[in-house]
């Protein structure tokens, strides 16, 4: 019986030792054990994610990245920077541009980070560089709402090439955060102090007509608008469909895109089955960046008829107090 006990203890001891050895590995090592010679560019900081139309000669896309591979960045040879252009504003013609190589970043541009022990650098693509390589006329072919797409490609000394088209979910997911591809939207940056503060909100039009009853889309009242960035604002305390139980207070986000006010796709603070979604349609309001005393926000509500309500237009007027 004692012999049997000793034999059983031996595999148990081995399991404990193996378990300890595995626990000592960092998450990075446990994931890369199954990736062979893969490599990636981990996003450390998206420093400048957009192109400012108001200052296009000095605007740039910038991102700080960190290289990893199965030799702790030792296989790094270079990083290619590609870009394409999507013309989302057909009023000035169709100016889409196919992807082109902007520049190549050599390994010598990277330095070893003291915390991770891996090579890092800041990669930039200036608006003048993008316009020159893609043959774009910034005065006549670029407008707010257009978008550049920046794609990075990692070249390793063993011949491996890794980019957005050949990586699995572990690499593009939250731990590695290696998307390799980034949108650089064309915007017109504004001071965060404009179009923010206390406003009187008034419902101009928009009625929520449901099988179980009707309600104005929003209640009139004093609201606070805050700035998420130079171009994005949030109405913090707007009361949605007030006829139902006093309404549902919640945020309403809108973007200030080079003279146009756009409501991005977002959920409402109430739902029936899944979610009520709203977003700008073809009818949008405009604004004067030098005058934030009064403006309109226009969007379509109930895009998926979550409560059996047909999609309808909402117009809100904001007057600064």
Query: Is there a domain that residue 177 lies in?
Result: yes
Give yes or no: residues 241 and 202 share one domain.
yes
Give yes or no: residues 252 and 306 share one domain.
yes
Q: How far is CA 247 from CA 174, 200, 215, 316, in A?
A: 36, 18, 9, 16
Contact yes or no for 95/87 (Cβ under 8 A) = yes
Give yes or no: residues 45 and 142 share one domain.
yes
Query: Is there a domain that residue 70 lies in?
Result: yes
C-alpha to C-alpha distance for 301 and 198, rounded to whole angstroms: 24
DSSP string, 190-250: --TTTT-EEEEEEEEE-EEEETTEEEESB--EEEEEEESSSSEEEEEEEEESTTTTT-EEE
Residues facing 133 on adjacent strands: none
C-alpha to C-alpha distance for 161 and 222, rounded to whole angstroms: 55
Which of 187, 222, 237 represents a domain boundary (last residue)? 187
What pTM did the predictor assign? 0.60
List pLDDT tens digits, range 214-250: 999 999 999 999 998 888 999 999 999 999 999 999 9
Query: Is there a domain that residue 42 lies in?
Result: yes
Which of 133, 165, 187 represents a domain boundary (last residue)? 187
For residue 157, what is the domain's CATH number? 2.60.40.1940
Query: Is there a domain that residue 16 lies in?
Result: no
Question: Tokens 């504003």 identify what position?
Answer: 89
Query: Is there a domain that residue 29 lies in?
Result: no
Give yes or no: residues 40 and 173 share one domain.
yes
Give yes or no: residues 315 and 239 share one domain.
yes
DSSP string, 71-133: TTTTTEEEEEEEEEEE---GGG----EEEEEEEEEEGGG-EE-TTT-SEEEEEEEEHHHHHHH
Lowest-confidence segment of 4-13, 150-159, 274-283 by average pLDDT: 4-13
For residue 266, what is the domain's CATH number? 2.40.128
Give yes or no: residues 230 and 163 share one domain.
no
C-alpha to C-alpha distance for 107 and 77, rounded to whole angstroms: 5
Domain residues for 264?
197-320
Query: Is there a domain that residue 222 lies in?
Result: yes
Residues facing 255 on adjacent strands: 232, 262
Residues facing 120 on adjacent strands: 66, 111
Lowest-confidence segment of 3-7, 24-28, 181-185, 270-274 by average pLDDT: 3-7
Q: How many domains does the chain have?
A: 2
More confident residue, 41 or 171: 41
Give yes or no: residues 40 and 162 share one domain.
yes
Among 79-93, 98-112, 222-236, 263-277, name the most confident range.
Answer: 98-112
**For position 31, what pLDDT does the model report?**
43
List the one residue out of 246, 256, 203 whose CA is nearest residue 225. Answer: 256
C-alpha to C-alpha distance for 314 and 299, rounded to whole angstroms: 5
Determine whether 30 is exposed, middle or buried from the number of CB atoms within 10 Å of its CB (0-12, 13-18, 19+).
Answer: exposed
Give yes or no: residues 118 and 59 share one domain.
yes
**Reported confidence tier of residue 94, pLDDT bands at 50, 70, 90:** confident
**For position 35, what pLDDT does the model report?**
46
Give yes or no: residues 183 and 51 share one domain.
yes
Give yes or no: residues 80 and 173 share one domain.
yes
Query: Is there a domain that residue 151 lies in?
Result: yes
Give yes or no: residues 203 and 77 share one domain.
no
Phi, psi of 30 (to 5 degrees): -65, -35
C-alpha to C-alpha distance for 144 and 190, rounded to whole angstroms: 13
Which of 156, 187, 218 represents a domain boundary (last residue)? 187
More confident residue, 168 or 164: 164
- CA atoms within 13 Å, Cβ hemisphere of 179: 13
Tokens of 150: 């920046």
List the one residue out of 222, 221, 226, 223 whose CA is nearest residue 194. Answer: 226
Query: Is there a domain that residue 305 lies in?
Result: yes
Give yes or no: residues 70 and 165 share one domain.
yes
Tokens of 2: 């004692």
């Amino acid at each position: 019986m004692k012999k049997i006990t000793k034999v059983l203890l031996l595999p148990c001891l081995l399991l404990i030792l193996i378990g300890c050895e595995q626990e000592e590995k960092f998450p990075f090592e446990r994931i890369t054990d199954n990736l062979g010679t893969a490599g990636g560019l981990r996003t450390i900081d998206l420093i400048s994610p957009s192109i400012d139309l108001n200052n296009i000669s000095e605007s740039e896309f910038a991102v700080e990245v960190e290289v990893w591979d199965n030799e702790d960045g030792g296989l790094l040879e270079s990083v290619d920077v590609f870009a394409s252009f999507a013309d989302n504003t057909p009023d000035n013609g169709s100016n889409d541009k196919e992807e082109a190589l902007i520049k190549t970043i050599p390994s010598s541009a990277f330095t070893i980070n003291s915390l991770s022990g891996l090579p890092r650098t800041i990669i930039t693509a200036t608006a003048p560089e993008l316009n020159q390589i893609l043959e774009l006329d910034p005065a006549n072919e670029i407008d707010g709402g257009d978008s550049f797409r920046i794609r990075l490609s990692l070249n390793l000394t063993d011949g491996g090439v890794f980019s957005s088209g050949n990586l699995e979910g572990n690499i593009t997911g939250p731990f590695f955060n290696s998307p390799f591809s980034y949108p650089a939207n064309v915007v017109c940056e504004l001071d965060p102090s404009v179009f923010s503060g206390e406003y009187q909100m008034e419902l101009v039009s928009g009625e929520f007509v449901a099988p179980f009853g009707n309600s104005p889309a929003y209640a009139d009242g004093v609201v606070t608008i805050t700035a998420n960035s130079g171009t994005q604002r949030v109405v913090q305390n707007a009361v949605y469909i007030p006829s139902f139980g006093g309404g549902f207070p919640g945020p309403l986000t809108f973007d200030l895109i080079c003279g146009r006010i756009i409501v991005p796709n977002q959920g409402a603070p109430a739902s029936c089955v899944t979610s009520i979604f709203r977003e700008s349609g073809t009818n949008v309001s405009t604004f004067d960046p030098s005058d934030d005393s009064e403006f309109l926000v226009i969007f379509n509500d109930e895009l998926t008829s979550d409560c059996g309500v047909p999609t309808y237009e909402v117009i809100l007027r904001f007057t600064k107090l």
